Structure formats: structure tokens, C-alpha cells
Amino acid sequence: MARRLDKDAKQGLVLISPVLVYALILLAAPLLLVLTFSFWTQNYLDIDRTLTLANYREALGTPIYQTLMLRSITISLVVTVVTVVLAFPIAYFLSFHVKKRKALWLFLITVPFWTSYLLRVFLWKVILGYNGVLNTALMELGIIDEPLTFILYNANAVVLTLAHAWAPFAILPIFVALEKIDRSLLEAAEDLGDGPFRRFWRVTLPLAMPGVVAATLIVLIPTVGDFITPKLVGGTEGLMIANMIQVQFGKANNAPLGAALAVSSMVIVATISVMIYVAGRYFGGRVKR
Amino acid sequence: MKWRRFFSINWLLVYAVAYMIFLYAPVILLPLFAFNDGTIIAFPLSGYTTKWFVSLWETEALHGAVSNSLLVAVTTALISTSLGACAARAAARYRFPGKQAIVGFIMLPLVLPEIIVAVALLIMLVQLGLPLSLWTVVAGHVLICTPFSIAILSSAFAGLDQSLEEASFDLGETRWGTFSRVTLPLVLPGVISSLLICFTISLDEFIIAFFLTGTDVTLPVYIWSQLRFPTKLPSVMALGTILLALSVLLLVAAEWFRRRAAARQGQEISTPGGLV
């Protein structure tokens, strides 16, 4: 039996090794290089390879980077909360109320997500603009007299556009978690006298927590790294840290500073993610399975 | 009881419909402005035209971008699916030390912001002195597509009845014979589904392509460059409409193949897609 397992292990490792090698060369090595780079400095074209914390002092100490970092984290957290809160009822609806055609609903939810990301963001600009679709419609209906200006070129527009872009990523994990809930537990709660709200709060939500946490992390982490949405709809008020990282690797030509900004933002996001994960486990863990 | 039914069913459906309108709002505008006979992307619409589609036909730079993107997307789909098939098979069939850590690491690009992946690859390529080209874009795209491929193919391989392969061995088939005559036909729909999804992701991917592309641009990078010119916008809308139609077509095909895979293995068809 032991030999059989060894053979199995060997075959498994052989099969997975091409992917592993690929990921080690093109993911692990570059990420380590970014980390190394963040401790180097750049003088115009030359890279100075003496290890220094100068980039981190600049990345974490300069007011503009501090502002951008704080704003990025804030926007991403707001986007995450908005996306997950908007997504939860849809996932709940799909799991508990749609009896037939679940697959069709899921398909319809994912279709907009497969259209060009750039164009989707751009079209939000068309919707939210001064002469945009929303303003025109609201003025035609006589609800407003003057175009609304607070909806484009600021953080609101970034939040709305990102909440739209990441919707399926929030709905699907929550849906899967809800599908896994044993329906007899809900009946039991009802039989024991729980009303719909108590039942939801004490049984459904804690059991759906793994999905909610997954959705939160799946939305939170990548949104911090988005620079298209802030650039197209964010104006100067809505620029985020990823825009600065892009500038450092492009026009400003200061890759080490860009690397330090990237590493700092990832460390901050990772810390927040771990906290959310732990909090989710605590909240979800109160119901014994 | 009556009150509760009113609360839970009706309002959730209303909410779901409103949410779908929110999801589809930008997508519906795309064909609307593509066929609109006006140079400004705003309401009111001024009439029907197909001239923006004709103008696409006459733009040389676009044709270059399209063929670059097709090359990148096809290559990415083939490589990612091959890699994904190995990993999914290994994960579904075998037990080996460090399995969770290895699979977790390979799936990492799924949660890593694309700008981090792009910047990291850029730094390495520059350090190695390798020129940026379509191949560097492919390298980046394979990295982000492989996790999707693994997710799709894992369900295909997990549903595979191992006794069928054992039966094939017992009846004297070789490893290759078993693979090509038993395993492959059973997971083929999953493989095609993975190819189509990887193709679609690569075709639409912008951030990695933006950082890693050389002088040959891909389609999204081309679109990005056009968004700056207001006069080019209507034809960009037309281009977007074509891409939308193409994506929907590919997705329907991918979904059809995935269901067929599930049906072949006797799984329940209504289980959510392999992307979950």
C-alpha cells in the first residue's frame, strides 16, 4: 500500500510540475524581483544596487503617496462593501427562490462581465457624464433642472463603476455558499420558533459567511490594483495608488519607487484581508455544523 | 404567512430585475451608439447608420491589432489549457506532498491585482534584457488564464469515473490508448470550454497587455489609444458591439460544451459553472 501511494505521489508531482515550473519562473521569480527592486534606487538610467529603505521612506512618508494610498484603501473597502451588500440579495434570490433555470440566471449575470472591460468603464462615463444618459433622462423626466455634477470624475463614479465591474465575482461565491446550506437546518430553526429575520441572522448568514468572505477578498484585493477606472471616471479626486504605480513604471521612470509602492500596497491589503478572514471565521464559526 | 410571502418573494424579484438593469445598463448602450448616426456619444439618438462598421473595415491599424490579438488569444488558450489539464488531472487524481500549497500558489494570479503581475513580469523582462513583444504578452496571459482553466477542468476530471480507466487498462490498452480513447473523449467538452474561456479572457485583457506589449499592440491596447480621440468614439462603439456579439457567442458555445461534459458523466446539469 505504501509503495502504491509513493507511485501515486510521484505521478501527481510529475503531472503538476510543468505548471509549477511555469509559475515559479514567471510568477515567483518576478515577484521576488519586485521585492528586491524596492530596496534598490534608480538614478536616471542606472540602477543602484545598494540595499536601502529610501523608497519605502518616500512611499510611506510623502504626503501625496500617503493620500493616494489611504484613498485607494478607502475606495476599495467602500467598493467591496457596496458590491457584496448589493450582491447578497441576488445570490439569495438565485439560491432560495429560483427553482428552474438557475443556470440561465447565472449565465445572464456573467454576460456583461465578458464584454470589454475598457468599454464598460468608458460607457459608465457616457452614462454619468454632464450631458450623459442619466442626466438627460432625469431632466427629461423633470426630476432635476440642472445636470448632476457629483456623479462623474470623483470617487463616487469609481465606486459605482467598480461595483458594477466586480458584481459577478461577488455573486458567485455567495451563491455557492448558500447552495451548500442544508435546508433542513432552516426548517429546524423555524420549527424551534425562529421568525424569518432571526432565522436569517442566526442560521443563513453565519452559514453563508465563507462565501461572503471569499466574495469580499475576491473584490477587495484586485480593486486596489485597478488604474483604468480611476483614470477614466475618477478625475483628479478619484486617482488611486495603482495610477501612481503605473506612472512610476512609465513616464516617471522610477521602477524601484514603483516597486516599493506596489509592495507597500500589497502588504497593507494582505493585512486587511487576513483581518477580514479571521473576522469571518469568528462570525461564521458560531453555528456548529 | 401572507405578510412574509409578500416580503420575501416579490421584493426579491423586483430587486433582482433592478439589479439586472444595473448590470446591463452599459452593455445595452453599446449597440445603441454603434448604430447611431451622430458623432457625439450622447442622447438623443439621431438616426440609424452602419457607417461606423464600414469605417472599421477601412482602418489598417485595427486589422493589425485584431490579428495580433487573435494570435495572442489562440496561443494563450492552447498553452493555458494544456497546463491547466495537467494540473487539474494531478489535483483530481493523485495525492502528493505539498498539494494544497502548490495548487494554491498556481491559483494565486486569480486574486493578485493584474498590475502587480504585469509590473513584476516587466521588471524581470527588462532585467533579462528580453525585448517586449506579443510573446511576452502571451507569457503574462498564460499566467492569469491557467487558474481559470484549472477551475473548469477540475470539475471535468473530478467527475471522471476512475473505474473506466482501470477497465481500459485491464482490457489491455496502453497508457496512451487509455488516455486518447477513454479519458480524453470524456473530458473533451471541458477542454473545449476551457479553450474558449481562456481565449475570451486573453482577447479582452488590457492591463498586462498594456505593460508587456512592444510595438505590436493588441486589440484592447488599440481601443485604449482610440478612447482619447472623440471623433474615433463611434467606431470604437461599433468595434465593441462586434466584440460583445463574439464574446456572447463564444460563451454560449463554452456553456454548451460544459453541459455536454456534465451530461456525459451523468452529473446534474444545473450545477453552477466551472468558474465557481
Q: What are the pLDDT digits (tens) for B126-182?
A: 889 889 999 999 999 999 999 999 988 888 888 777 788 888 888 888 878 888 888
User: Do residues B204 and B255 make contact, with C-beta atoms less than 8 angstroms apart?
Assistant: no
| B255 vs A: CB within 8 A | yes
Instruction: Count how many Cα atoms sit within 13 Å of the Cα of residue B41 in the half-sphere of its side chain.
Output: 28
Whole-number pLDDT of residue B269: 46
Average pLDDT over residues B242-263: 80
Q: Domain B56-264 belongs to what topology?
A: MetI-like fold (1.10.3720)
What is chain A's pLDDT, residue by residue, as a tens digit (289 residues)? 445 557 778 888 888 999 999 999 999 999 999 999 899 888 767 777 888 888 898 888 889 999 999 999 999 999 999 999 999 999 999 998 888 788 888 888 888 887 788 888 988 988 888 778 888 888 888 888 888 877 788 888 999 999 999 998 899 999 999 988 888 888 888 888 777 788 888 888 888 898 999 999 989 998 988 888 998 888 888 888 899 999 988 888 888 999 999 999 999 999 999 999 998 888 775 544 4
The alpha helices in chain A, defined as continuous H runs, are 2-23, 29-37, 54-61, 63-96, 102-110, 117-128, 133-140, 155-165, 167-180, 183-191, 196-199, 205-224, 228-233, 241-249, 255-284
Neighbours of A63 (CB within 10 A): 7
Q: How far apart are CA B272 and CA A173, in angstroms?
A: 11
Widest distance between CA atoms in chain A: 80
Average pLDDT over residues B36-41: 75
Would you call B240 and A119 a contact, using CB atoms and an 8 Å cutoff?
Answer: yes
Whole-number pLDDT of residue A250: 82
Residue A122 lies in a domain: yes
Residue A88 lies in a domain: yes
Instruction: Count how many Cα atoms sit within 13 Å of the Cα of residue A31 in the half-sphere of its side chain.
Output: 19
* Domain residue ranges in chain B: 56-264
Residue A171 lies in a domain: yes
* pLDDT band at residue B267 using 50, 70 and 90 as cut-offs: low
Residue pairs between chains A and B whose CB atoms are closer than 8 Å: 243
Chain A residue with minimum CA distance to B258: A103
Could you tell me the sign of the dihedral formed by the alpha carbons of A17, A23, A25, A28, in that order? negative
Q: Is the peptide bond before B44 cis (omega within 30 degrees of 0)?
A: yes
Whole-number pLDDT of residue B149: 93
As for how many domains chain A has, the answer is 1
Mutate to test the interface with A, among B17, B28, B123 (most CBs of A within 10 A): B123
Burial A14-42 (b: 16+ CB within 10 A, else e): ebbeebbebbeebbeebbebbeebbbbbb
Those residues whose C-beta lies under 8 Å from the C-beta of residue B125, and which sit 6 or more positions away, are: B132, B136, B212
Average pLDDT over residues B106-115: 89
> What are the φ and ψ backbone dihedral angles of A6, each rounded to 5 degrees?
-60, -40
**CA-to-CA dists, residue A159 to A82, A217, A224, B208, angstroms:** 8, 16, 12, 23
User: How many residues does the structure list for chain B?
Assistant: 276
State the residue range of the domain holding A119: 62-284
Q: B105: exposed, middle or buried (C-beta count within 10 Å: 0-12, 13-18, 19+)?
A: middle
Q: Is A139 helix (H, G, I), strand (E, B) or coil?
A: helix
What residue type is B192 in one-letter code?
Answer: I
Q: How far apart are CA A58 and CA A282, in angstroms?
A: 37
Percentage of chain B modeled with pLDDT above 90: 33
Element holding B248 (H helix, E strand): helix B233-264
Chain B residue with minimum CA distance to A30: B120
Chain A hits for B146, Cβ within 8 Å: 19, 22-23
Residue A100 lies in a domain: yes
Mutate to test the interface with B, among A5, A7, A16 (most CBs of B within 10 A): A16
Q: How far is A238 from chain B (nearest CA, A)?
A: 18
Q: What residues are paired with B171 via a beta bridge?
A: none
Looking at every residue in chain B, the average pLDDT score rounds to 84
User: Do residues B217 and B68 make contact, with C-beta atoms less than 8 angstroms apart?
Assistant: yes
Question: Higher confidence at residue B253 or residue B209?
Answer: B209
C-alpha cell belonging to residue A191? 420549527
Whole-number pLDDT of residue B4: 57
Whole-number pLDDT of residue B273: 43
In B33-92, the residues whose Cβ lies within 8 Å of chain A are 33, 41-44, 83-84, 86-87, 89-91
**CA-to-CA dists, residue A6 to A9, A51, A254, angstroms:** 5, 44, 50
pLDDT for B37 beyond 60: yes
Question: Higher confidence at residue A223 or residue B50?
Answer: A223
A3-17, A197-211, B79-93, B106-120 — which is least confidently predicted? Answer: A3-17
C-alpha cell belonging to residue B74? 489562440
Would you call B102 and A16 a contact, using CB atoms and an 8 Å cutoff?
Answer: yes
Would you call B96 and A173 a contact, using CB atoms and an 8 Å cutoff?
Answer: no
User: Do residues B238 and B52 make contact, with C-beta atoms less than 8 angstroms apart?
Assistant: yes
pLDDT for B202 beyond 60: yes
Q: Is B136 helix (H, G, I), strand (E, B) or coil?
A: helix
